[in-house]
Amino acid sequence: MDARNVEFRAGPAHILRGADLRAGTGTTIALLGPSGCGKTTLLRVIAGLERLSAGQILFDGEDVGGIPPHRRGFGLMFQEHALFPHMDVERNVDFGLRRLGWAAERRDRRVGELLETVGLGGFGKRTLEGLSGGERQRVALARALAPEPRLLMLDEPLGSLDRGLREHLVVEIREILRHLAIPAIYVTHDQFEAFTVANELAIMRDGRVVRVGAPGDVHGQPGTEFVARFLGMDNIVDGVRDREGMIATSAGVFGPVAGPPGAVRLLLRTEGSAVVEADGPNVVRGLVVARVFLGGLTRLVIDTTAGRLEFPMQTAPAGMAEGDEIRVRVEKVQPLISEPAEPLSK
């Protein structure tokens, strides 16, 4: 699937602004972004549920932008699973196959295979009222997969479930999608789900896809201030780089970082940070304003001359209290591109 320069307007609102997205065989792309960025709209346009205003939707080189949804061969799974309460599990899963005219033997074989795949072997004759929320979502997934779709699209499929169940099911969904090698687009606002299920992330902002890459690459090299902050990396300071690559900021001097001399927006990454005794390059000094216990980590909130910075520590110094002075060595810094936001309606 190849969505190229997709535009979508709803009255005066310009929702999609030249969005590009590609999903190859066996690729699960997680569409991630803040509320209102256009991720669900992009999914609906690709599915044919909304008519694109400009651009192209290609599948295997064929432009499917003018083809109605039921003829695109795409599968859909939503947060509201919309199962039929008067039908048992088996009839829910084979509903679409009946409408497509599949023979009974072929339907039965396909339904049996899928129920085993989603962990519901032996559930075929059960009623929906006897199923848990997680089991109903498995039924919905099986139904979406039943017609052997060319592309599977999932819109916040686990959003109605509690956190623990979501974390369990998203791993199962990842394994199923990898096993079937079906291209999929997974829309979510939950970063844990996105990083777990996807082998590629697409982060959206103001109707555009602004960063695409493997989860580890996106997290390791966010590239822009927006992506860094969206992923929870808020230790960002302004500085000036000299000819040796050292960057002077109000929080300290960091580097060396390759690049031309001049103003720099700098991300102070928290990985590998440690409390130290002395000042020096790559060391932040400030006052502890909060210690937040996070299970295996302690988050130290530090008031510095550059503002408040936060550092999660596996081993926080014993006896350190709020108001104490602290020095933290930063192991890695990255320059960022700062981009102005655009309004959605224009």
End-to-end CA distance of the chain: 29
The reply to whether CATH 3.40.640.10 applies to domain 244-336 is: no
* pLDDT value at residue 340: 58
Tell me the C-alpha distance between 169 and 153, whole Å. Answer: 16
How crowded is residue 80: how many other Cβ atoms within 10 Å of its Cβ? Answer: 11
Tell me the C-alpha distance between 77 and 137, whole Å. Answer: 9
Examine the pLDDT at 290 and tell me if it is beyond 90.
yes
* pLDDT value at residue 283: 97
Average pLDDT, the chain: 92
Contacts for 258 with CB less than 8 Å, ≥ 6 apart: 245
Q: Give the count of alpha carbons within 13 A of 109, CB side only.
A: 6
- Residue 298: its H or E element: strand 297-304
Examine the pLDDT at 51 and tell me if it is beyond 80.
yes
Tell me the C-alpha distance between 51 and 41, whole Å. Answer: 10
> Radius of gyration (Cα) for the chain, nearest Å?
24
User: How do residues 173-200 score in pLDDT, each as one tens digit?
Assistant: 999 999 999 999 999 999 999 999 999 9
How crowded is residue 262: how many other Cβ atoms within 10 Å of its Cβ? Answer: 9
Q: Which two tokens stand for residue 28?
A: 């699960």
User: How do residues 232-279 score in pLDDT, each as one tens digit?
Assistant: 999 999 999 999 999 999 999 999 999 999 999 999 999 999 999 999
Grade residue 160 by pLDDT with cuts at 50, 70 and 90: confident
User: How do residues 89-98 score in pLDDT, each as one tens digit?
Assistant: 999 999 999 9
- For 2-227, give the CATH class: alpha beta
Q: Find the range with the poorest average confidence among 38-42, 78-82, 247-251, 330-334.
A: 78-82
Pairing, β 184-188 against β 28-32: parallel
* pLDDT value at residue 101: 93
Q: At 47, which amino acid appears? A: A
Tell me the C-alpha distance between 205 and 49, whole Å. Answer: 21
Percent of the chain topping pLDDT 90: 85
Q: Where are the domains of the chain?
A: 2-227, 244-336
- Judged by DSSP in three states, 109 sits in helix
Place of tokens 């997205």: 21
* pLDDT value at residue 81: 64
* pLDDT value at residue 345: 37
Examine the pLDDT at 341 and tell me if it is beyond 60.
no
Q: Which two tokens stand for residue 328?
A: 């933290």
